[in-house]
Amino acid sequence: MTTVTSAVAGEDRSARWILLVSLALNLFFVGATGALLARHYVADGATAPIDRSVAARMERLAATLPPPDADILRSEYRANAPAVDAARDSYRQAQDEVRRTLRGDPFEAEAMRAALLKTRAARQGFDESLQDMIASAATKMSPAGRNQLANWPPSQRTANDTKR
C-alpha cells in the first residue's frame, strides 16, 4: 500500500504545479491584455492634441514666468498679435504654394525652387516678428523673468546649465 500511496501523492504534486503554472500564465495574459486595452481606449481619449497656435505657445511660455513678467509677455503679444498672425499666415500660404507645386503635373523644378525660396523668406519674416515681440517684452521684464525666459523650454534646461 505504501507504493500506491506515494505514487498518488507524486501525481497530486505535479498536478498542483501544473495548475499553479497555468493559473500564473492565465493571470499574466489577462493582465497584459487588460493593460493594452486600457492604454488603447483610455489613453487615446485622455490625451488632447497640443495646441500649436502662437497664442497657446505664448501662454505656455508665460506660465513659466513670474506673474508680473508673464503679464508683460501677454500684453506684448496682444499688442503685436496682428503682425505676428499676418506673418504666420504668409508663411502658411507659402507652404501651401509648395504643396501645389509638388502636386503639379508636369512637375516644374524651377517653380518648386521659387516656392521654396518664398517659404524660406516667409518663415524668416514670421520668426523675426515673433522674436521681435519676445525681445520687446524681455526689455520690460525683471532679471528673474529674463532668466526664466533663457531656460525655455523648462524640461530641457535648468538654471545651472551654463555649458550650452
140 closest CA partner among 80, 60, 55: 80
Let me know if residue 44 belongs to a domain: yes
**Which tens digit of pLDDT belongs to each residue from 97-135?**
999 999 999 999 999 999 999 999 999 999 999 999 999
Let me know if residue 163 belongs to a domain: no
Q: How many domains does the chain have?
A: 2
Is 99 found in the same domain as 22? no
Is 138 found in the same domain as 111? yes
**Which tens digit of pLDDT belongs to each residue from 25-83?**
888 888 888 888 877 777 555 566 788 888 999 999 999 999 999 999 999 999 999 99
Q: Cα separation of 142 and 66, whole Å?
A: 9
Residue 33 has a pLDDT of 87
Identify the domain containing residue 29 by its residue range: 1-48
Q: Please spell the DSSP secondary structure of 30-60, one letter per residue.
A: HHHHHHHHHIIIIIHHH-PPP--SHHHHHHH
Let me know if residue 74 belongs to a domain: yes
Is 79 found in the same domain as 34? no
Residue 45 has a pLDDT of 54
Is 137 found in the same domain as 85? yes
CATH number of the domain bearing residue 66? 1.20.120
